[in-house]
A and B are shown apart, each in its own frame.
Chain A
Amino acid sequence: MGETVKLIGAFASAYGHRAEVALRLKGVQYELILEDLRNKSNLLLNHNPVHKLVPVLLHGGRSLSESLVILEYIDESFHGPPILPTDPYDRAMARFWAQFIDQKFGRFNFWIPFVQMEGNMREEFMKEAKENLGLLEGQLKGKRFFGGDAIGFLDIAACLIAHWLGVFEEVCGVTLASDEEFPALCEWRRSYVNDEAVKPCLPNRDELVAYYRERKEMIKAAGRQHK
Chain B
Amino acid sequence: MADEVVLLDFWVSPFGQRCRIALAEKGVEYEYSEQRLAGEKSDLLLRSNPVHKKIPVLLHAGRPVCESLIILEYIDETWPESEKKSPRRLLPDDPYARARARFWADYVDKKLFDCQTRLWKLRAGEASHEQAKRDMVEVLETLEAELGEREFFGGEAFGYLDVVLVPFVAWFHAYEKLGGFAMAEICPRLVAWGERCKEKDSVAKTLTDPEKVYEFALYLKDKFGAK
User: Which residues of chain A have a CB within 8 Å of any CB of chain B?
Assistant: 50, 59, 62, 64-66, 69-70, 72-73, 76-77, 88-89, 91-92, 95-96, 99-100, 135
Question: Once bound together, how far apart are the Cα atoms of A70 and B103, in whole Å?
Answer: 9
The answer to whether B51 and A95 touch across the interface, beta carbons within 8 angstroms, is no
The stretch from B59-67, B158-166, B190-198 touching chain A is B59-67
Minimum C-beta distance from B10 to chain A (A): 20
Minimum C-beta distance from A46 to chain B (A): 15
**A-contacting residues, B62-85, CB 8 Å:** 63, 65-67, 70-71, 73-74, 77-78
B70's partner among A62, A70, A96, A135 (CB-CB below 8 A) is: A96
A72's partner among B74, B99, B142 (CB-CB below 8 A) is: B99
Contact with A along B82-103 (1 / 0, CB 8 A): 0000000000000110111011
Q: Secondary structure of the A side of the interface?
A: helix
Contact with A along B116-142 (1 / 0, CB 8 A): 000000000000000000000000001
Query: 9 nearest interchain CB pairs?
Result: A88-B77, A76-B95, A73-B99, A92-B74, A77-B95, A69-B102, A92-B65, A95-B70, A88-B78
Supposing A66-B103, A72-B99, A73-B99 touch, asked if A89 and B74 sit within 8 A by C-beta, the answer is: yes
The answer to whether B74 and A88 touch across the interface, beta carbons within 8 angstroms, is yes
The size bracket of the interface on B is 20 to 34
Question: Once bound together, how far apart are the Cα atoms of A66 and B77, in whole Å?
Answer: 22
Minimum C-beta distance from A142 to chain B (A): 20
The answer to whether A76 and B98 touch across the interface, beta carbons within 8 angstroms, is yes
- Tell me the nearest residue of chain B to A60, going by C-beta: B96
The answer to whether A96 and B95 touch across the interface, beta carbons within 8 angstroms, is no
Question: Once bound together, how far apart are the Cα atoms of A73 and B96, in whole Å?
Answer: 7
B98's partner among A66, A72, A91 (CB-CB below 8 A) is: A72
10 contacts between A and B (CB under 8 A): A50-B142, A64-B103, A73-B99, A88-B78, A89-B60, A91-B74, A96-B70, A99-B67, A100-B51, A135-B51
Q: Secondary structure of the B side of the interface?
A: helix
- Tell me the nearest residue of chain A to B79, going by C-beta: A88
Number of residue pairs A-B, CB distance < 8 angstroms: 56
The answer to whether B70 and A64 touch across the interface, beta carbons within 8 angstroms, is no
Minimum C-beta distance from B144 to chain A (A): 14
Minimum C-beta distance from A203 to chain B (A): 25
Q: Which residues of B contact A59 (CB under 8 A)?
A: 96
Q: Which residues of A contact B77 (CB under 8 A)?
A: 88, 91
The answer to whether A69 and B74 touch across the interface, beta carbons within 8 angstroms, is no
The answer to whether A50 and B107 touch across the interface, beta carbons within 8 angstroms, is yes
The answer to whether A99 and B99 touch across the interface, beta carbons within 8 angstroms, is no
Minimum C-beta distance from B169 to chain A (A): 21
The answer to whether B95 and A73 touch across the interface, beta carbons within 8 angstroms, is yes
The answer to whether B95 and A89 touch across the interface, beta carbons within 8 angstroms, is no
Q: Which residues of B contact A89 (CB under 8 A)?
A: 60, 63, 65, 74
The answer to whether B96 and A64 touch across the interface, beta carbons within 8 angstroms, is yes
Question: Once bound together, how far apart are the Cα atoms of A73 and B102, in whole Å?
Answer: 10
The answer to whether B96 and A99 touch across the interface, beta carbons within 8 angstroms, is no
Minimum C-beta distance from A144 to chain B (A): 24
Interface residue? B31 (CB, 8 A): no
Interface residue? B106 (CB, 8 A): yes
- Tell me the nearest residue of chain B to A78, going by C-beta: B95
Q: Which residues of B contact A77 (CB under 8 A)?
A: 95-96
Given contacts A69-B103, A77-B96, 17 further A-B contacts (CB under 8 A): A50-B107, A62-B96, A64-B99, A64-B103, A66-B102, A72-B98, A73-B95, A89-B63, A89-B65, A91-B77, A92-B71, A95-B70, A96-B65, A96-B70, A99-B67, A99-B70, A100-B51
Q: Which residues of B contact A135 (CB under 8 A)?
A: 51
Minimum C-beta distance from B106 to chain A (A): 6
- Tell me the nearest residue of chain A to B60, going by C-beta: A89
